[in-house]
Amino acid sequence: MKQTTFIRRLASLTLVVGLLGCGAEPTGGSGAEQQADGKIYRWKLITTWPKNLPGLGVAPERLAEHLRIMSNGRLDIKVYGAGELVGAFEIFDAVSQGTAEMGHGAAYYWRGKLPAAAMFATVPFGMNAQEMNGWLHYGGGLELWRELYEPFNLVPFAAGNSGVQMAGWFNKEINSLADLQGLKMRIPGLGGEVLARAGGVPVSLPGSEVYTALQTGVIDATEWVGPYNDLALSLHTAAKYYYYPGWHEPGPTLEAFVNKTAWESLPSDLQEMISVATRAINEDMLSEFTARNNAALVTLVEEHGVELRALPPDVMQRLKVLAAEVVEESAQQDELSKRIYASYTAFSKAVKSYHEISEQAYLNAR
């Protein structure tokens, strides 16, 4: 052992002995005491995503691995993809009931059960990823989210974001509003309701079924995420036209939620690790999509001949008008829904004003 290392360890030992002699206790309270007992918490994490799907499916795997390392193996989480334990759209109820301790998905999938939940995922023509993170973590959004999930025995966390998505894959051109009439499209959440009011037919499908439905003509179009994820699902082999921008999902926040009983069984240090690790995964996913989307788009266009198209201005304008109606109406369900809507819209208005002279002004200038 080197002399310097020995001296450092001796000094540390002397400090600890001195503190104990003075009656001082380690920081962390009960959490520190529980840490000393060496208990291992073996959890199941179920997701709405195909196992190990790049981006979305990899995020819960990374989350579990981070927590395993940070906790020195005390929090041992096994990840299950959609359909391995329960169906993709069954994870909310399964974690609520304690079948699994943790889930990873998107809040708009539970809109039939909780209409206001969609606002914690994304709002058509609403806030982007950066703005959503601001609202959730510093604008009161997370507190409202947890209040909404409280009756279901769940504690939610933001745990991923793809950034502004693509409008989707279409088997026919969209040149006017008339082309949306009768269009069967896989599109969840509030965006699906907007499409319905525009004359389309929204269809709800988990990611594992999207490709087959598009290829066989069960649906005429689908949104998924963006080039990086869409290339991984080979959607370019099932549709010719790739439209932008993703008006329906400008800042889609993914969620991790924990069964509240399981959460409360954890010592405080493990709770803090989950809080920090989900924040890290939330940022990590956005960084990965930012880094990989452009290269994937180049591959789609230059190697696979995908036709990249912008939605026509009149289509976008009509969808924007309908979106405002849908979002406002969805907020009238109950008192909590009204408070969520008020909080979201107030923050969105304020941050938009600032971004007009900061982010947007810079993007226009460069």
Sheet strand arrangement including 102-105: 75-80, 41-47, 102-105, 253-259, 154-161
Rounded Cα–Cα distance for residues 96 and 170 (Å): 36
Rounded Cα–Cα distance for residues 341 and 343 (Å): 5
CATH architecture assigned to 40-164+251-290: 3-Layer(aba) Sandwich (3.40)
Cβ within 8 Å of residue 67, ≥6 positions away: 75, 77, 273, 274, 277
Q: Identify the band that residue 37 occupies on the pLDDT scale cut at 50, 70 and 90.
A: low
**pLDDT tens track for 133-165:** 999 999 999 999 999 999 999 999 999 999 999
pLDDT given at position 34 = 46
Cβ within 8 Å of residue 307, ≥6 positions away: 240, 241, 242
Q: Identify the band that residue 119 occupies on the pLDDT scale cut at 50, 70 and 90.
A: very high
pLDDT given at position 354 = 97
Nearest residue to 186 via CA among 156, 227, 230: 230
Nearest residue to 347 via CA among 189, 117, 137: 137
**pLDDT tens track for 318-336:** 999 999 999 999 888 899 9
Per-residue pLDDT, averaged over 172-194, amounts to 97
Q: Give percent of the chain with pLDDT exceeding 70.
A: 90
Rounded Cα–Cα distance for residues 217 and 73 (Å): 47
Mean pLDDT for the chain overall: 91
State the pTM of this model.
0.88
Please determine, for residue 272, whether its predicted confidence score (pLDDT) is greater than 60: yes
Please determine, for residue 24, whether its predicted confidence score (pLDDT) is greater than 60: no
Fold of 168-250+305-365: D-Maltodextrin-Binding Protein; domain 2 (3.40.190)
Per-residue pLDDT, averaged over 266-289, amounts to 98
pLDDT given at position 331 = 86
| Start-to-end Cα distance in the chain | 56
Please determine, for residue 94, whether its predicted confidence score (pLDDT) is greater than 80: yes
Please determine, for residue 1, whether its predicted confidence score (pLDDT) is greater than 90: no
Q: Identify the band that residue 30 occupies on the pLDDT scale cut at 50, 70 and 90.
A: very low
Q: Map out the domains of the chain as residue ranges.
A: 40-164+251-290, 168-250+305-365
Q: Identify the band that residue 212 occupies on the pLDDT scale cut at 50, 70 and 90.
A: very high
Nearest residue to 230 via CA among 244, 216, 247: 244
Per-residue pLDDT, averaged over 277-296, amounts to 98
**pLDDT tens track for 306-319:** 999 999 999 999 99
Per-residue pLDDT, averaged over 113-123, amounts to 96
Please determine, for residue 12, whether its predicted confidence score (pLDDT) is greater than 80: no
pLDDT given at position 333 = 84
Q: Identify the band that residue 249 occupies on the pLDDT scale cut at 50, 70 and 90.
A: very high
Please determine, for residue 21, whether its predicted confidence score (pLDDT) is greater than 90: no
pLDDT given at position 318 = 98
Please determine, for residue 91, whether its predicted confidence score (pLDDT) is greater than 70: yes
Please determine, for residue 38, whether its predicted confidence score (pLDDT) is greater than 90: no
Please determine, for residue 26, whether its predicted confidence score (pLDDT) is greater than 70: no
Per-residue pLDDT, averaged over 336-363, amounts to 97
